[in-house]
Structure 1
Amino acid sequence: MKDELRAKIIQICDKKIASKGENVGLSFYAFFANKNDNPELLMEAATWWIQTHQLDHFVKAKVIKDMIYKGM
């Protein structure tokens, strides 16, 4: 996973946790604006989320953040 995407995921997870609490769930779409301005990065996130880790549509932000820190 690109460092750009890792940083973006951590940033968004921190923001969501700060605003909605520790139990907030999110999907990989949370890391992107409503318009598809970076399809390559979106596909990388989707592949990591769906194919590599077979995650549910919504996962707790703290779980995703922990996975990123562990290098998964």
Structure 2
Amino acid sequence: MRDSLREKVVQVCSKKIEQKGESVGVSFYAFFANKNDDPELLMEAATWWIQTHQLDRFEKATKVMAMVKSGL
């Protein structure tokens, strides 16, 4: 996963946790605008989420953020 996407994931997860608490869930779509303006980056996130780590549709933001920070 490219560094810019890692930074975006951490930023979005941190904001969601701050707003809704540590039990908040996210999907990989949370890291993108409603408009598909960067399909390559979206596919990179989807591949990381679905194929590489076989995560569920929604996962706890704390889990996703920890995975990204650890370099997974």
Q: TM-score, normalised by structure 2?
A: 0.98
| Alpha-carbon separation, structure 2, partners of 1:9 and 1:69 | 9
How large is the RMSD of aligned CA atoms in angstroms? 0.4
% identity of equivalent residues: 68
Would you say 1:59 and 2:59 are equivalent positions? yes
1:35 is matched with 35
Q: After the TM superposition, list the runs of 4 or more consecutive aligned residues in structure 1 that deviate by more than 3 angstroms.
A: none
Match for 2:19: what amino acid? S
| Alpha-carbon separation, structure 2, partners of 1:6 and 1:23 | 21
Would you say 1:11 and 2:11 are equivalent positions? yes
Q: CA deviation at 1:35?
A: 0.3
1:68 is matched with 68
Q: CA deviation at 1:49?
A: 0.1
Q: TM-score, normalised by structure 1?
A: 0.98
After superposition, give the CA deviation of every residue in 1:29-65 in whole Å (9 maximum; x if it has no partner).
0000000011111000000000000000000000000
| Alpha-carbon separation, structure 1, partners of 2:18 and 2:33 | 19
Structure 2 unmatched runs, 5+: none
Structure 1 unmatched runs, 5+: none
